[in-house]
Amino acid sequence: MKEWKNICALTDIPVLGSRRVQRSQGPQVALFRTADDAVFALLDRCPHKGGPLSQGIVFGNKVACPLHNWTIALDNGQAHAPDEGCTAKFSVKVEAGQVMLCEGELASIGLEFEPIKAGPCTRSC
């Protein structure tokens, strides 16, 4: 039986947008909300070059990666042809306007990848 973790209110995720969920290790999880209020969760990492899917454009039940415009299906994380690859998906439950993710999946999926790091360059130029 899955144990669910309350993440946010449905209204905290913009329509045709996303919200990131921080984890103690591994990349963040991206929550996506479609025009019809369906919610999906994927590892915030494109299978192509690791781009942040949470910064992509949501259309229909897909998201376009902001780096190279790969189209990723929100329901299964699969890249659309001719591109190939898949990003991990997470189980989502919406009850009484609250979005929940499976605690076991949050603690185990995608941990083999480094978190995306943003910010100024730390090496000398």
Q: Residue 9 maps to which CATH number?
A: 2.102.10.10
Confidence of residue 16 (pLDDT cuts 50, 70, 90): very high
- The reply to whether 79 falls in a domain is yes
Task: Report the pLDDT value the prediction gives residue 125, as an integer from 0 to 100.
Answer: 45
Domain region containing 62: 4-106
- The reply to whether 85 falls in a domain is yes
- The reply to whether 33 falls in a domain is yes
Task: Report the pLDDT value the prediction gives residue 124, as an integer from 0 to 100.
Answer: 52
User: 5 with 31: CB under 8 angstroms?
Assistant: no
- The reply to whether 118 falls in a domain is no
Rounded Cα–Cα distance for residues 110 and 90 (Å): 10
Instruction: Tell me what the mean pLDDT of segment 112-116 comes to.
Output: 80
Give per-residue pLDDT as tens, 60-101.
999 999 999 999 999 999 999 999 999 999 999 999 999 999
- The reply to whether 117 falls in a domain is no
- The reply to whether 27 falls in a domain is yes
Task: Report the pLDDT value the prediction gives residue 118, as an integer from 0 to 100.
Answer: 60
* Domains of the chain: total: 1
Rounded Cα–Cα distance for residues 109 and 105 (Å): 5
Instruction: Tell me what the mean pLDDT of segment 99-106 comes to.
Output: 97
Other beta carbons within 10 Å of 1:
3
- The reply to whether 115 falls in a domain is no
User: 51 with 65: CB under 8 angstroms?
Assistant: yes
What CA–CA distances, in Å, run from 111 to 15, 17, 25? 28, 24, 7
The pTM of the full predicted model, rounded to 2 decimals, is 0.90
Confidence of residue 113 (pLDDT cuts 50, 70, 90): confident
- The reply to whether 120 falls in a domain is no
